[in-house]
Amino acid sequence: MKLGDNEWNQLGGKDKFVPAALGISGPDEGNQIGIPFVSRPFVMAYNTELLAAAGIEKPATTWDEFTEQAKKLTTGDQYGVAVAYKDNFDPWKYIWGMSIQGGNPIIDGTEVRLDDPITKKAYETYFGWVTKDKVVDPSAVGWSNPQALAAFAAGKAAYFPMTSPLSIPALDASAVKGKYKYALMPTVPPGETSNPSVGKPATSILSGDNLVVADYSKQKDLAFAFVKMITDKDVQLNYFKVFGQLPANQAAAKELATNEVIAPALESGAKSVATPFSGAWGDVQLSLTNVVVQSIPDLSSGAVSESNLSQRLKDEQAKSQTALDRAKK
């Protein structure tokens, strides 16, 4: 069902929802079908004791500062950052985020810009943490997200970026209970001290779950009544309590904003940026991931050469452009 004034009113009004969450309801305000249910913005967890011991007063806000802090936090078998290079979902989010912050939208109208210098710099920074800067456990080349989480939970890493409040149960049952907090991930791209005029200070992809009502349904009113119920404040707060999923209901989110642990995630949700509404995005996202997958052997050997990275970007650029051209027909 396309959502107009009547449909939003059945749900309790569009202003019932966190404004940013509406960013993935459709390609524009006049073409929305998704009703926000839960929000899942990404943040970074940090070990408060390790940062204090290193004389670091607050988490980094730029990626360059993040790398420099990570170097100070790396000593012995303790590393500055826990990253999962072999995860199926995490790597492309780093590259996309740094690219958006630097002013490269990846998809720009009818053009894919995957081999843009801004995106290449993002890969070099991301790969450099383990190859050049040595702030990541070398074993992380083969890690998925749960293994990176386990390293942070064991106190073996000071930063754990690209996580969400869904990690709270695991962290509260670990050695870092009471010793961690969340913060926004850096919003200034590598090599910069502020966002370029064309860049966006994206804290996260705009992430979460939407609900829809089928246009062929014979019980549309009941469907809207059900969705209204499970997106009302009290139900959303209870859902958060049980499952740890952040509410899309604005009143519920405001109530949780007083929680010191949760507040950064809510702020990240409000400052998130949606990935492109394009029929080619699935292919482009896969290409962003493929560059990392193809670089795993190089990462294991300790370096990703400039020529190899450039060739992989060129190859994936061609595949992505073909996908976009096909989607535009």
- Confidence band of 244 (pLDDT split at 50, 70, 90): confident
Sign of the torsion angle spanned by Cα atoms 160, 164, 170, 172: positive
Going by C-alpha positions, the residue among 164, 144, 169, 147 that lies closest to residue 156 is 147
Q: What is the pLDDT of residues 102-136, one digit of tens each?
A: 999 999 999 999 999 999 999 999 999 999 999 99
Residue 138: how many CB atoms within 10 A of its CB? Answer: 13
Average pLDDT over residues 243-257: 94
Q: Has residue 228 got a pLDDT over 90?
A: yes
Kindly state which CATH superfamily the domain 43-202+276-328 is placed in: Periplasmic binding protein-like II (3.40.190.10)
pLDDT of residue 258: 93
For 239, phi then psi, to 5°, come to -65, -40
Going by C-alpha positions, the residue among 280, 268, 140 that lies closest to residue 207 is 268
Q: Has residue 98 got a pLDDT over 90?
A: yes
Q: What is the pTM of this model?
A: 0.94
Q: Has residue 329 got a pLDDT over 90?
A: no
Q: What is the pLDDT of residues 308-328, one digit of tens each?
A: 999 999 999 999 999 999 998
**How does DSSP assign 233-253, residue by residue?**
HHHHHHHHHHH-PEESBHHHH
| Start-end of CATH 3.40.190.10 domains in the chain | 5-40+206-270, 43-202+276-328
Helix axes 281-301, 90-102, angle to 10 degrees: 110
Q: Which residues contact 36 (CB under 8 A, 6 or more apart)?
A: 17, 18, 21, 22, 24, 25, 208, 210, 231, 248
Q: What is the pLDDT of residues 284-312, one digit of tens each?
A: 999 999 999 999 999 999 999 999 999 99
51, 82, 316 from 160: Cα distances, Å = 13, 5, 28
Q: Is 136 helix (H, G, I), strand (E, B) or coil?
A: strand
pLDDT of residue 125: 98
CB 161 within 8 A of CB 23: no
pLDDT of residue 316: 98
CB 41 within 8 A of CB 272: yes
Fold of 5-40+206-270: D-Maltodextrin-Binding Protein; domain 2 (3.40.190)
